[in-house]
Amino acid sequence: MAKVASALFSVFSLSSPRPQVQFADSSGLSVSGLPGERVITLEEVSRHDTDKDCWVVIYDRVYDITEFLDEHPGGSELLLEYAGREASGAFRGSGHSDAAIKLLDKYFIGELPIHERIFRKQGGLMLSNIPE
């Protein structure tokens, strides 16, 4: 057992880091079953935490809101507090309109893998029907 663990450690520690963005399987389907959706880990999201590269997670879906920072009615500073992090509570707690929820679609880039999800599970809730 120790030899196996040592060998695995050697392989992973010597390999170059790769982005944690992937399709769930070779068919190109995401874990939700929709073609073309990327599966993005929280680790990868955390690398996008600046005003030049700003990703957030809202209800287990990942959004690149970099281009929206200067357009946000509450100011970019508010959004940057959640850059590279989970922002569902802040988003829902602000009482965003249906139009704001719809606007998110423009910035959608992927979803968290099932094992990192808090709110949505495969075939589960969507942002528009999550209770207040």
CATH code where residue 68 lies: 3.10.120.10
Tell me, yes or no, whether 114 lies in a domain: yes
Question: For residue range 72-119, what is the model confidence (pLDDT) as tens digits?
Answer: 988 899 899 999 999 998 888 887 888 888 999 999 999 999 889 988
Tell me, yes or no, whether 39 lies in a domain: yes
Tell me, yes or no, whether 110 lies in a domain: yes
Amino acid at 35: P
pLDDT at 131: 55
**Domain carrying residue 121:** 19-129
pLDDT at 128: 56
pTM reported for the whole predicted model: 0.67
Alpha-carbon torsion, ordered 61, 67, 70, 76, to 10 deg: 40
Tell me, yes or no, whether 5 lies in a domain: no
Amino acid at 63: Y
Neighbouring residues of 109: CB distance < 8 A, sequence distance ≥ 6: 38, 40, 55, 62, 63, 64
